[in-house]
Amino acid sequence: MAETPQEPLTMRPSDGLTVLALPTPTLPPATTTNTSLVGRRDVWVVDPATPWDAPRAELLAAIRALSGAGRTARGVVLTHHHPDHVGAAGWLRDQAGLPILAHPLTAELLGDRLPVDRHLDEGDVLTGSDAPDDRWRVLHTPGHAPGHLCLWEPVRRLLVAGDMVAARGTIVIAPPDGHMTTYLTQLARLADLAPARIVPAHGDVIDDAEERLRFYIAHRHEREGRVVAALDGSPQDLPTLTAKSYPDVPSALHGLAAGSALAHLVRLAEEGRARQLPDGRWVSA
Mean pLDDT by 10 residues, the chain (285 residues): 48 89 92 96 98 96 94 98 98 98 98 98 98 98 98 97 95 97 98 97 96 98 97 93 96 95 98 97 96
Same domain, 93 and 209: yes
Same domain, 130 and 86: yes
Q: Is 226 part of any domain? A: no
Q: What DSSP assignment string belongs to 36-65?
A: EEE-SSEEEEE-----SHHHHHHHHHHHHG
Q: Which amino acid is at 182?
A: T
Asked whether 79 and 63 are in contact (CB, 8 A), the reply is no
Q: Is 3 part of any domain? A: no
Same domain, 275 and 162: no
Question: So what's the pLDDT on residue 10?
Answer: 82
Same domain, 143 and 259: no
Q: Is 60 part of any domain? A: yes
Domain of residue 270: give its range.
231-284
Question: So what's the pLDDT on residue 160?
Answer: 98
* Total structural domains within the chain: 2
Question: So what's the pLDDT on residue 28?
Answer: 87
Burial (CB count within 10 angstroms: exposed 0-12, middle 13-18, buried 19+), residue 255: exposed
Q: Report the C-alpha gap between 152 and 26 in whole angstroms.
A: 24
Q: Is 1 part of any domain? A: no
Same domain, 241 and 203: no
The pTM assigned to this predicted structure is 0.94
Q: Is 44 part of any domain? A: yes
Q: Report the C-alpha gap between 247 and 239 in whole angstroms.
A: 12
Same domain, 203 and 152: yes
Q: Is 62 part of any domain? A: yes
Q: Is 224 part of any domain? A: no
Question: So what's the pLDDT on residue 5?
Answer: 42
Of 172, 197, 218, the one marking the end of a domain is: 218
For 195-224, the pLDDT digits (tens) are: 999 999 999 999 999 999 999 999 999 999
For 1-53, the pLDDT digits (tens) are: 334 443 457 888 788 999 999 999 998 889 999 999 999 999 999 999 999 99
Q: Is 4 part of any domain? A: no
Same domain, 161 and 255: no
Question: So what's the pLDDT on residue 204?
Answer: 94
Same domain, 104 and 16: yes
What angle, 0 to 180 degrees and rounded to 10, lies between the N-to-C axes of helices 254-270 and 180-192?
90
Same domain, 187 and 237: no
Of 218, 241, 259, the one marking the end of a domain is: 218
CB neighbour burial string for 76-87, b if at least 16 within 10 angstroms, e if fewer: bbbbbbbebbbb
| H/E run at residue 201 | none
Of 218, 245, 269, the one marking the end of a domain is: 218
Same domain, 123 and 236: no
Question: So what's the pLDDT on residue 201?
Answer: 97
Question: So what's the pLDDT on residue 1?
Answer: 32
User: Residue 139 maps to which CATH number?
Assistant: 3.60.15.10
Same domain, 57 and 188: yes
Phi first, then psi, for residue 117 (nearest 5°) are -90, -30
Same domain, 212 and 240: no
Instruction: Determine the 3-state secondary structure of 127 from DSSP.
Output: strand
Q: For residue 240, which of 282, 179, 205, 275 has the smallest C-alpha distance?
A: 282
Q: For residue 137, which of 145, 127, 147, 148 has the smallest C-alpha distance?
A: 127
